Structure 1
Amino acid sequence: MSLCSKSFRINVFEIFSIIVLVGSFSLRIGESKNVQVLKKDSKIDYSALNCRKHSALLTDFGGVGDGKTLNTKAFQSAIANLSQYASEGGAELIVPPGKWLTGSFNLTSHFTLFLHKGAVILASQNESDWPLIAPLPSYGIDQNLTDGRFSSLIFGMNLTDVVITGNNGTIDGQGAPWWDKFKNGLYKATRPFLIELMYTNELQISNITLTNSPFWHVHPVYCSNVVVQGVTILAPVEVPNTDGINPDSCTNVRIEDVYIVSGDDCIAVKSGWDQYGIKVGMPTQHLIIRRLTCISPDSATIALGSEMSGGLQDVRIEDITAINTESAVRIKTAPGRGGYIKDIFVRRMTLKTMKYVFWVSGAYKTHPDDGYDPNALAEIKNINYRDIVAENVTIPGSLTGYANDPFTGFCISNVTMTLSEEAAKELSWNCTDIKGVSKNVTPKPCNLLTEQATDCSFPEDKLPIETIQMKTCSAKEVFL
């Protein structure tokens, strides 16, 4: 099946056997209703920011993996029980193979959620299983969504040292009913994310598959020291707002080795919306994105904005592959945003079948309400692109700033773009109210990107998040 098919969906093998486990745990845990079988001392090794001293199975707290029984209370009970070990080496909750239907649940500090291969956490399609929570301070309440927002499926706030990982287990948001209701304009609250962590230091999401979120898939917001690694994210390409990963007002973030198919931006870097984001004033900064593969016919490989009112700075993007995607690294803002996007560095991109390669817009006009200041203009400067090969391109570049406040400091070097048959019908380059330089760019860029002799820069230093050393941890292996 083509990944870009409108009937795109993920097939998960049916689990027929009963999960069993025997052996000692370092926790005192309740007796499971399921028969348990475990090969003695069998373990799966995995990499994590921190390992845990204590471990337990979801079935030990009443979990039933039949795809029908609601397991919200089992998750909540397990995490509440395991939270008491936060100061004693932390705890790991293992989700065995099976289909585990659940509503929203909250994580705790010094905690690992580990999904075995064949484990599928299924999001409930009953809205009553998703509580309403307070709006994000840097976004306010959308005037069209006055009831606020639904909690994400997996949520946490004010935490330290959280790991969500596995050996490629799956979290399925079962988003179709949410998408249909949104399409018909029936919501008064923002749809839920699949994973959202707020005000969290030391967050890892790795080696899992995320699919069919009602809204964005991964949303760390007001977080620091975040690693997203080896994650696959899959959503139908025709469904809007199914962004892959959206770091939002976060510092020290590493996103690498991820594969995303989406109906919206594969990665969107954000920092708040209009006057709310300006007031909170928390930038996203010191972010590296590398080895991303993206398919998104109607949106961006990586979007910077449009909600960027707290500022975006020191973003490093390298070794990117995009196929059948609308644009590459897109910058989008609007009057009223304020903030800044600066010190952006992009290199080594391979692009195939793109509408735009370079796309910068100062006219992305969505606003939460009418309280924004139209004179709050974003500062856009020091934007560097280099070493790009693009095939089957419709529009090489569209860069548009503000008439009285141009976007400055663009640099584009060593870029080869092969145009599509459609390209002859379009203006090759469109540049307005921007200033910058270029070197060795084909097709020849607009006159506002004057020729220079040197390549664009890319930092040689490493960000602190790049130097973090993972530990080798282990989870008890569960067999069908």
Structure 2
Amino acid sequence: MKITDIRWIAVAVAGLMVGTVVPAMAAGKVCDARAYGAKADGTTKDTQAIQNAIDDCAKAGGGTVKLSGGTFLSAPIVLKSNITFDIAKGTTLLGSPDHADYPSKIEFRGPGYQSLVSATNAQNITITGGGVIDGNGASWWALARTQKNAGVLGSENSRPRGVVFDHCKHVRIEGVTVQNSPYWQIVPYYTDDVVIRNVRILAPQHSPNTDAIDPFSSSNVVIDHVYADVGDDNVAIKSGMINSPGPDAPSKNITITDCDFMHGHGLSIGSEIAGGAQNIKAERIHFNGTDQGIRIKANRDRGNDVSNISFKDITMENVKTSILISEYYPKALPQGEVAAEPVQRLTPHFHNITIENVKSVNSAWAGVIIGLPEAPVKNLVMKNVDIQAKKGMAIAYADVTGKNVKVTAAEGEGITVAPTAKATFK
């Protein structure tokens, strides 16, 4: 597939240079949190000292807030416009273990808790320095598991996120480690012009919903040289919640390059995609031990237009499912032909998708590509794809064209095409 939206190509190229827009270190006042009373001893709560440093710099028109040496224990803090938050190498910003320190609030149009680091309606913000932001999420994960086991509805939202930019512009995160967030770790929400580069994002393999990066209804996002080893999606591009009443803005013009994804649920678009997603490009991504590799997912209660998507130069090893494209997520896949339902506002439409130069070894499943009978996957092109798996690839309710595609399955057929699909391989 050739992407013909020249405007997006121009934006994507500009996006690779977006780091020149946001300086690595803001000019202006330097506010060292220790000068405002921070102890950095890992036991004293330094929240007020850090916030005072941020506020003082902001009042001066912007500057650099420095955390240097030691462990700064903190409840949620709020960044402001024109602030560089410099967490020096060997320094940790550690989230408070006291759940009462996280105020409840409406976040992302629903009930939640204030994130450890956040900014709202702000611009020109940089987080840098080589240090660590640690969400200290273990007690929250235990609570989430307990609530889930008890059948508490909405329990997944009863945790703060790690780093959230809400309706912001010109954001840069570079050189730091973000880890152990109680919930999603880095979230640009309705935010434009974002660079996340040379960042490590970590959480235990089975920590619930610890997505690494979730661009949510955001645009012009660059994710580059990121190492993510987490408990859920390594990247999840979102744009609207389940049964969203709307309106929802799309996520668009996003590039993901030169990343290493380890444990986690892969590079995902969806499943909450009520605003749609367009012009997504992922290149030179390596997966090792993820549950899925390439994943596009939605359902009738959370979908929209997902188009102009490109995956190129992808390598995978020890991935459970190499390619998963499903308009039934998270429901079980149907067997055989099923009845079409009326097309609604939240019906997913996946089309104009290219998967090129993919090598996957030791996978459990090569893949699944399945659309809805009323909205089949359209114009999915695979080129130079080589997958070695225990079981093959199944295609249903989809229009797929392949060139130089090889699926080697230890059990059964390499590629199974249902009567409901149209697939041509050369």
TM-score bracket for this pair, using the shorter chain length? 0.7 to 0.9
Q: CA deviation at 1:327?
A: 1.1
What's the CA shift string for 1:283-339, capped at 9, x where partnerless?
Answer: 10000000110112xx43211000010010000000000001111110110012231
Q: 1:284 aligns with which of 247, 251, 273?
A: 251
What's the CA shift string for 1:420-458, capped at 9, x where partnerless?
Answer: xxx1xx4x12111111100111125444463466xxxxx
- In 1, the alpha carbon distance for the partners of 2:373 and 2:234 equals 30
Match of 1:93 in 2: 65
Q: CA deviation at 1:189?
A: 5.0
Secondary structure of 1:75's match? helix
| Rg comparison, structure with higher value | 1
- In 1, the alpha carbon distance for the partners of 2:212 and 2:295 equals 15
Q: 1:262 aligns with which of 190, 215, 230?
A: 230
Kindly indicate whether the alpha-carbon contact (under 8 Å) linking 1:335 and 1:365 is maintained by their aligned counterparts in 2: no
- Trace 1:69-84 onto structure 2 (pairs within 5 A): 69-84=44-59
Kindly indicate whether the alpha-carbon contact (under 8 Å) linking 1:261 and 1:294 is maintained by their aligned counterparts in 2: yes
TM-score (norm 2): 0.86
Q: 1:162 aligns with which of 108, 125, 129?
A: 125
2:403 matches 1:439:
yes
Match of 1:192 in 2: 160
- In 1, the alpha carbon distance for the partners of 2:90 and 2:252 equals 36
- In 2, the alpha carbon distance for the partners of 1:231 and 1:118 equals 15
- Runs of 5+ unmatched residues, structure 1: 1-45, 142-147, 367-372, 454-480
Kindly indicate whether the alpha-carbon contact (under 8 Å) linking 1:388 and 1:414 is maintained by their aligned counterparts in 2: yes
- Trace 1:10-409 onto structure 2 (pairs within 5 A): 49-50=22-23, 51-86=26-61, 90-137=62-109, 141=110, 148-166=111-129, 168-185=130-147, 187=155, 190-276=158-244, 279-296=246-263, 299-365=264-330, 375=344, 376-409=346-379
Q: Which has the higher contact order (CA 8 A, sep 6+)?
A: 1
Distance 1:365 1:356, change over 3 A: closer
- In 2, the alpha carbon distance for the partners of 1:289 and 1:189 equals 27
- In 2, the alpha carbon distance for the partners of 1:336 and 1:188 equals 18
- Runs of 5+ unmatched residues, structure 2: 1-18, 332-341, 408-413
- In 1, the alpha carbon distance for the partners of 2:157 and 2:283 equals 36
Secondary structure of 1:354's match? coil
- In 1, the alpha carbon distance for the partners of 2:53 and 2:422 equals 58
TM-score (norm 1): 0.76
Match of 2:411 in 1: none
Kindly indicate whether the alpha-carbon contact (under 8 Å) linking 1:300 and 1:329 is maintained by their aligned counterparts in 2: no
Q: CA deviation at 1:190?
A: 2.6
Kindly indicate whether the alpha-carbon contact (under 8 Å) linking 1:196 and 1:218 is maintained by their aligned counterparts in 2: yes
Distance 1:374 1:102, change over 3 A: farther
Secondary structure of 1:329's match? strand
Q: CA deviation at 1:243?
A: 0.6
What's the CA shift string for 1:242-270, capped at 9, x where partnerless?
Answer: 11000010010000001010110111100
Tell me which stretches of 4 or more aligned residues in structure 1 moved more than 2 Å: 186-190, 373-376, 444-453
Aligned residue pairs, count? 380
CA RMSD of aligned residues (A): 1.9
Kindly indicate whether the alpha-carbon contact (under 8 Å) linking 2:239 and 2:272 is maintained by their aligned counterparts in 1: yes
Q: CA deviation at 1:47?
A: 8.4
Match of 1:460 in 2: none
Distance 1:449 1:233, change over 3 A: farther
- In 1, the alpha carbon distance for the partners of 2:105 and 2:121 equals 15
Kindly indicate whether the alpha-carbon contact (under 8 Å) linking 1:70 and 1:101 is maintained by their aligned counterparts in 2: yes
Kindly indicate whether the alpha-carbon contact (under 8 Å) linking 2:343 and 2:374 is maintained by their aligned counterparts in 1: no
Q: Considering fraction of residues, name the structure with more strand.
A: 2
- In 2, the alpha carbon distance for the partners of 1:47 and 1:126 equals 39
Q: Which amino acid aligns with 1:191?
A: R
Q: Which amino acid aligns with 1:153?
A: L
Kindly indicate whether the alpha-carbon contact (under 8 Å) linking 2:348 and 2:375 is maintained by their aligned counterparts in 1: no
